[in-house]
Amino acid sequence: MTPSGRHVVLGVSGGIASYKSCTLARRLTEAGAAVDVVMTAGAAAFVGPVTFEALTGRPVLTSLWDRGRALAHVSLARDPDLVIVAPATANLLARAAHGLADDHLTALLLARTGPVLAAPAMNGAMYDHPATRDNLATLTARGWRMVGPDTGPLAEGPSERPGRMSEPETIFAEAIRLLRAPNSALSGRHVLVTAGPTREPLDPIRVLTNRSSGRMGYALAAAAWTRGAEVVLLSGPTTLEPPYGPMLEHIETTDELRRAVAAHLPRADLLVMAAAPADFRPANTAGRKRARGEGTPAIEVVPTPDILEETRKRRKRGCKVIGFAYESARGTQRAREKLEAKDLDLIVVNYTGDPESGAEVETNRVTLVPRTGSPRKLPVLLKTEVAERVLDAAEELL
């Protein structure tokens, strides 16, 4: 999920939210993008240009009359991969919608023919005003993409109406999607990802579950969304922050996961089964919590359905399927057996007993076993990096 080597223009207009744009500039730069910041006079009253220069390592443009930069608004409109306007104030949106070009940023936007991502930020009443709504509609019709605004505290205090600029991480995620989607085989595809454990109730308090954290599935869903896919994430109980972008649906038990997969599977072009559903559930669930003094209970368990196996008859034509397996010895051989038995296109093997791999850690050491071709052993990587490697393989399949 990186814009490394990409050229991005960050336009900053004069709103209090311009301080957030410093974080966005740093985030883009750290991710490897070349970031040129263009500021309005109003923005410079809130944040000094030297701040952005320090964060990006590049000179900041503030005026059409900067010596030696007379045509910079033309080149910066034509050359960059993406132009971001954050914050996009009501005034900036109005001037852009009406084709004004009275400063460097509006002149650049008037000459721009490539993608523009804008993050509106203003008072809630200003955002609701028909003039602003008309301007937003005009710019959207011209191809601009809007992110936000959110509801929350504004400069004048709490607000129940939208107007607050989206957070830098949200804008960053939308920017990555715009940069990556045009070159991705996942763009426009429907992707279904499962993540996390399931919990099978013993009684109203106790459950049978496993150590899965959900990190791998969440990373896969987030990365697929940045590649332009429409992503549904079916998640068991986790403590993770929901990833921005995918549609998140919570499930608790293996049977709930089974029904959710069946409901979403007919649209899926890619199914990624990264969840760790329980293999067994209690044969009977007690209606009340059993007290310790009542003696040691005998817990009878029965197998849960094999959800991945059941998808074989429900997959649409052309749907590619990626499974995950926890293995110890003979991992690759057993993975191939599962791949054939469950009609998978790729299986990702995690190894048990590895402190740097598997559940409850942020790294993974996996082997990608395709239907045809040789297995690919990956080194220890962050799960976000493993997700990218798995989706690279998925794009090859598609």
- Peptide linkage before 149 cis (omega within 30 of 0): yes
Contacts of residue 129, defined as CB under 8 A and 6 or more positions apart, other chains included, come to 90
Please give the helix or strand (H or E) that residue 327 lies within, else none.
strand 320-327
Single-letter code of the amino acid located at 244: Y
Write out the two tokens for 247. 């549609």
> 231-234: long-range contacts (C-beta < 8 A, 24 or more apart)?
231/191, 231/192, 231/193, 232/190, 232/191, 232/192, 232/193, 232/264, 232/268, 233/193, 233/194, 233/195, 234/192, 234/193, 234/194, 234/195, 234/260, 234/261, 234/264, 234/275
Instruction: For residue 374, count other CB atoms closer than 10 A to its CB.
Output: 9
User: Measured between alpha carbons, how far apart are the two ends of the chain, in Å?
Assistant: 19
Catalytic residue from among 210, 284, 350, 364: 210
Residue 284 annotated as catalytic: no
Give CA–CA dist 318/199, Å, rounded: 32
Write out the catalytic residue numbers: 210
